[in-house]
Structure 1
Amino acid sequence: MKLFFMFLLFLFLTSCSDDEDNRPVSDCGPYIEILSSTDGLDPGDAFALADISTEGTCLSIEVSATGCNPDDWTAELVTDGAVAESIPTQTNARFILDRQLPDGASICQAIAFKTFTFDLSDYLTPGALPSNLRLVGPADTARVILFEE
């Protein structure tokens, strides 16, 4: 009996998780990743920012890059969470594209486009709006987007 209770205790302790996977699924895409630092991040693959649009705290980023199949591309939007106290507030985020190319693979020379959408609601809370988001892309190119309430 004692062994059974030990097993239940072990099962109970290992089944709990404190990670953020328990938050509700967003209607507009993955959440922005808030890291302690964005220094030293892999810059990802080369691309150009083709278009940027917002709807509420949803950010859509259309990119263009060489490649034959943009369906395989993945992207992440990361920030260090720092907000400059000004009016409007100012913050930075880095967009990182991964075209899923194996090392040494030849690149299709066609220009392809893909749109990625991210949910910034965890980051751009109503108290932080309005806010200028400086979106950093390849080779530290940047665009500034104004988010308003």
Structure 2
Amino acid sequence: MKIITSIIYLLPIIIFIACQKNDGQDTPDLDQNLNEVIISLEEYNLAPRDYVALESYKIEDDSLKITYSSSGCSGDSWEVRLIDSGLILESYPPQRSLVFSFKNDEACEAYITKEIAFDISKLKIEDDSVYLNLTNWGVSVLYIDK
């Protein structure tokens, strides 16, 4: 009977400790797991471009963070890449054309939103700034080398 009583008193404590909010020590930081930008005209032209909604985008240091949404089951099978054409348009500031390549084979009605970050440091050019044109969304973002 003492064992059962002890377990009854200890059970809430064990549950409380097990359910403590993660302090972030085990959670990978998005900035530490940057995805690489692919620079290839062939891949740019052949990249899958399934429908995906752009929710937001921003540049922080050498990272382009994109929040995007689409329908699906869980989004676990989505294939996402950022591909630069390799061509630099001569203007001031110069421009690069990129495609957010998205492949979605999921056929569910849930609407899923995710965030991804790309290391854009290899998109720098000799000038101190360049426009990154996300062609499948028709938006441009100014990347300033600091």
Question: Which of 73, 77, 84 is the equivalent residue of 1:79?
Answer: 84
Go from structure 1 to structure 2 and tell me whether the alpha carbon gap of 1:68 and 1:128 turns closer, same or farther (over 3 Å shift).
Answer: farther
Counterpart amino acid of 1:142?
Answer: G
Q: Which moved more, 1:66-75 or 1:36-45?
A: 36-45
CA distance in 2, matches of 1:72, 1:38: 20
CA distance in 2, matches of 1:77, 1:129: 22
Counterpart amino acid of 1:148?
Answer: I
Superposition deviation, residue 50 in structure 1: 0.8
- Are 1:145 and 2:141 counterparts? yes
User: Could you give the per-residue CA deviations for residues 52-95 of structure 1, whole angstroms, max 9, x where no partner exists?
Assistant: 11111211111110012023323101112111232211111011
RMSD: 2.1
The match for 2:27 is none
User: Is 2:44–2:83's contact at 8 Å kept on the other side of the alignment?
Assistant: no
The match for 2:61 is 56
User: Could you give the per-residue CA deviations for residues 103-142 of structure 1, whole angstroms, max 9, x where no partner exists?
Assistant: xx6x1112110111111111224x24311110122xxx31
Unaligned runs of 5+ in 1: 1-25
Q: TM-score, normalised by structure 2?
A: 0.69
Unaligned runs of 5+ in 2: 1-30
Go from structure 1 to structure 2 and tell me whether the alpha carbon gap of 1:42 and 1:121 turns closer, same or farther (over 3 Å shift).
Answer: closer
Q: TM-score, normalised by structure 1?
A: 0.68
**Count of residue correspondences:** 115
Mapping for residues 1-149 of structure 1, pairs under 5 Å: 27-38=32-43, 40-99=45-104, 101=105, 107-125=107-125, 127-137=126-136, 141-149=137-145
Go from structure 1 to structure 2 and tell me whether the alpha carbon gap of 1:54 and 1:97 turns closer, same or farther (over 3 Å shift).
Answer: same
| Structure (1 or 2) with the larger CA radius of gyration | 2
CA distance in 1, matches of 2:74, 2:64: 23
User: Is 1:28–1:58's contact at 8 Å kept on the other side of the alignment?
Assistant: no
CA distance in 2, matches of 1:145, 1:75: 19
Go from structure 1 to structure 2 and tell me whether the alpha carbon gap of 1:40 and 1:93 turns closer, same or farther (over 3 Å shift).
Answer: closer
